[in-house]
């Protein structure tokens, strides 16, 4: 008890001292001699699957769900049966926390609401684990930073990509100075016409809900960059446009199910063929009007579908980044130029693999939370004045390159395992990754570069803490 109080006082003192700078290490240490009491808010596909059914199936000896909350009562009931739990259901978040007194809140609502539940959860004395992105704009971000500093509880952002073995290898090589000091980076991510299009069907297509793909999607990529470079972003300049989806489409319909153009729309997607998605969303549309198979050519879409940015880091590294949302294939490539050489990494570029990757199947495999065989993919280190060396690095097809399951194991199973590459992401990491996207949005509007320091009271550091 004395130890616990001392630990709490210490954490509190550290976070108060922080006021914009130092923030405690983001690692949960539940230290309980009973099962962890968990609640979840937002019982959609990510909540019920990755944070729901998967936790129940793999960690029920260590944790129990004591409450589920969603504003859609129909989805909530389906979520309960799908996850195989018997806990009480709530449409009122505050009542759920008061009634159940959980140890941990998992936030998996749409992005625009994360801040409400994070802040309320910390204020009510709970640890919080939120899905990415931390939030969607700088005002909400500052409110979260303030709430975290006032609280002696922990906030973790579920950055799963960091945990994939392939991404970890890049971190390891850069940490070991395999190419000297990194001076510039080319990073390009290609979403295919299945995965990329899927964002335009849902709330993600509205910038007021998902912050645009600069935030909703690129937060993953910016977090990886910040983590790999071990530095904070300092300034961003960007271009972007909506030229393919939204009003650019040749026709539009009410939704895919009832669309008169289904026979001549390449993007037509039949949700009635997916029993789980139909039961999760379509059967409960009448409660909240959330249409999962919305038309991706509807006029209200107001996000970008092509994006390109230059990012200057506080340690002077410069990055060229782009995101494409209607590529014929899904994959990515990165190249780091350093004072002593170059590191090249890529996944799923079909022309490099001399293979015809079936794009719909790739998307389905990536969404799958099951287990996948470890595969090995190339990565190249090319030292100046030397021949290049190709190494084969572990990679898994399911669950974000194998990151999903490693994140779970580290949080709920191997809680005291060492974390030499600082895989855990806290509020500062969550903030720095979205601030790049927020700065990019502002840069597109103003036509000028945007300083990260102008957005919140976080000051970029050449070397991260």
Six token digits for residue 439: 């700065």
Going by their DSSP bridges, the two strands 318-327 and 306-313 should be labelled as: antiparallel
Identify the residue among 55, 85, 96, 113 touching ligand NAD (CB under 6 A).
113
Contacting range for ligand NAD; rule: CB under 6 A; set: 106-114, 166-174, 222-230, 382-390: 106-114
Q: Is 155 in the site for ligand NAD (CB under 6 A)?
A: no
Q: Which is nearer to ligand NAD, 75 or 405 (CB)?
A: 75
Q: Is 430 in the site for ligand NAD (CB under 6 A)?
A: no
| Gap between the Cα atoms of 457 and 146, Å rounded | 10
Q: Is 41 in the site for ligand NAD (CB under 6 A)?
A: yes
Q: Is 132 in the site for ligand NAD (CB under 6 A)?
A: yes
Q: Which residues contact 273 (CB under 8 A, 6 or more apart)?
A: none
Q: Which is nearer to ligand NAD, 100 or 231 (CB)?
A: 100
Place of tokens 């849902």: 202
Q: Which is nearer to ligand NAD, 42 or 233 (CB)?
A: 42
128: which strand partners? 105, 155
Q: Kind and range of the H or E element at 121?
A: helix 114-123
Angle between helix 93-100 and helix 114-123 axes, rounded to 10 deg: 30
CB of 227 to ligand NAD, least distance (A): 15
Q: Which is nearer to ligand NAD, 107 or 178 (CB)?
A: 107
The size of the interface with ligand NAD (CB under 6 A), counted in residues, is: 23
CA distances from 4 to 10, 31, 88, 126 (A): 10, 10, 30, 15
Contacting range for ligand NAD; rule: CB under 6 A; set: 29-37, 110-118, 372-380, 414-422: 110-118
List the end-to-end C-alpha distance of the chain, in Å, as a whole number: 29
| Gap between the Cα atoms of 209 and 361, Å rounded | 28
Identify the residue among 110, 149, 195, 422 touching ligand NAD (CB under 6 A).
110
**Site residues for ligand NAD, window 388-407 (CB under 6 A)?**
400
Q: Is 442 in the site for ligand NAD (CB under 6 A)?
A: no
Alpha-carbon Rg for the chain in angstroms? 22
Q: Where are the alpha helices (DSSP H) in 177-325?
A: 195-201, 207-210, 213-216, 218-229, 275-280, 285-288
Residue nearest to ligand NAD (CB): 44
Q: Is 144 in the site for ligand NAD (CB under 6 A)?
A: no
Q: Which is nearer to ligand NAD, 75 or 115 (CB)?
A: 75
Distance of CA 325 to the CA centre of its chain: 17
Contacting range for ligand NAD; rule: CB under 6 A; set: 8-16, 108-116, 168-176, 244-252: 108-116
CB of 52 to ligand NAD, least distance (A): 10
Q: Which is nearer to ligand NAD, 45 or 357 (CB)?
A: 45
With residues binned 3-state (H G I as helix, E B as strand, rest as coil), the percentages for the chain, rounded to 5, are: 40, 20, 40
Q: Is 134 in the site for ligand NAD (CB under 6 A)?
A: no
**Site residues for ligand NAD, window 180-219 (CB under 6 A)?**
216
Identify the residue among 15, 160, 282, 398 touching ligand NAD (CB under 6 A).
160
CB of 336 to ligand NAD, least distance (A): 23
| Gap between the Cα atoms of 118 and 123, Å rounded | 9
Q: Is 71 in the site for ligand NAD (CB under 6 A)?
A: yes
Q: Is 70 in the site for ligand NAD (CB under 6 A)?
A: yes
Q: Is 46 in the site for ligand NAD (CB under 6 A)?
A: yes
Longest dimension (CA), the chain: 69
Q: Which residues contact 37 (CB under 8 A, 6 or more apart)?
A: 63, 64, 66, 100, 101, 102, 103, 104
Identify the residue among 15, 43, 100, 193 touching ligand NAD (CB under 6 A).
43
Q: Give the footprint of ligand NAD on this chain (CB under 6 A).
A: 41-47, 69-72, 75, 108-111, 113, 131-132, 158, 160, 216, 400
């Amino acid at each position: 008890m004395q130890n616990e109080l001392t630990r709490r006082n210490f954490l509190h003192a550290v976070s108060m001292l922080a006021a914009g700078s130092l923030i405690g290490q983001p690692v949960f240490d539940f230290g309980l001699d009973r099962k962890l009491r968990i609640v979840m808010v937002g019982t959609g596909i990510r909540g019920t699957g990755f944070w729901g059914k998967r936790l129940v199936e793999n960690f029920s000896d260590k944790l129990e769900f004591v409450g589920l909350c969603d504003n859609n009562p129909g989805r909530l009931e389906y979520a309960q049966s799908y996850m195989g739990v018997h806990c009480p259901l709530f449409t009122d978040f505050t009542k759920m926390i008061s009634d159940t007194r959980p140890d941990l809140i998992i936030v998996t609502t749409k992005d625009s609401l994360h801040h409400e539940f994070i802040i309320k959860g910390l204020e009510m004395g709970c640890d919080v684990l939120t899905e990415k992105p931390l939030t969607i704009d700088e005002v909400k971000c500052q409110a979260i930073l303030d709430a975290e500093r006032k609280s002696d509880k922990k906030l973790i952002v579920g950055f799963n990509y960091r945990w994939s073995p392939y991404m970890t290898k890049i971190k390891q090589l850069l940490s070991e100075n395999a190419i000297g000091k990194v001076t510039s980076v080319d990073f390009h991510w290609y979403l295919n016409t299945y995965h990329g299009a899927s964002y335009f069907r849902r709330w993600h297509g509205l910038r007021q809900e998902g912050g645009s793909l600069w935030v909703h999607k690129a937060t993953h990529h910016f977090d990886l960059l910040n983590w790999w470079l071990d530095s904070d972003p300092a300034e961003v300049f960007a271009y972007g446009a909506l030229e393919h989806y939204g009003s650019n489409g040749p026709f539009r319909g009410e939704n895919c199910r009832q669309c008169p153009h289904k026979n001549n729309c390449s993007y037509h997607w039949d949700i009635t063929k997916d029993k789980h998605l139909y039961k999760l969303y379509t059967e409960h549309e009448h409660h909240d009007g959330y249409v999962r198979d919305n038309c991706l050519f509807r006029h209200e879409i107001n996000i970008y579908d092509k994006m390109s940015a230059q990012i200057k880091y506080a340690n002077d590294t410069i990055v060229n980044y782009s995101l494409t949302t209607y590529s014929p294939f899904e994959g990515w490539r990165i190249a780091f130029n350093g004072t002593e050489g170059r590191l090249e990494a890529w996944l799923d570029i079909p022309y490099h693999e001399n293979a015809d990757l079936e794009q719909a199947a790739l998307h389905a495999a990536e969404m799958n939370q099951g287990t996948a065989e470890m595969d090995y993919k190339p990565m190249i280190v090319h030292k100046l004045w030397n021949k290049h060396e190709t190494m084969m690095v572990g990679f898994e097809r399911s669950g974000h390159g194998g990151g999903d399951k490693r994140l779970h194991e580290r949080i709920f199973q191997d809680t005291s395992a060492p974390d030499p590459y600082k895989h855990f992401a806290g509020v500062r990491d969550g903030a720095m990754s979205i601030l790049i996207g927020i700065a990019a949005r502002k840069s597109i509007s103003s036509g000028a570069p945007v300083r990260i320091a102008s957005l919140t009271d976080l000051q970029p550091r050449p070397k991260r803490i």
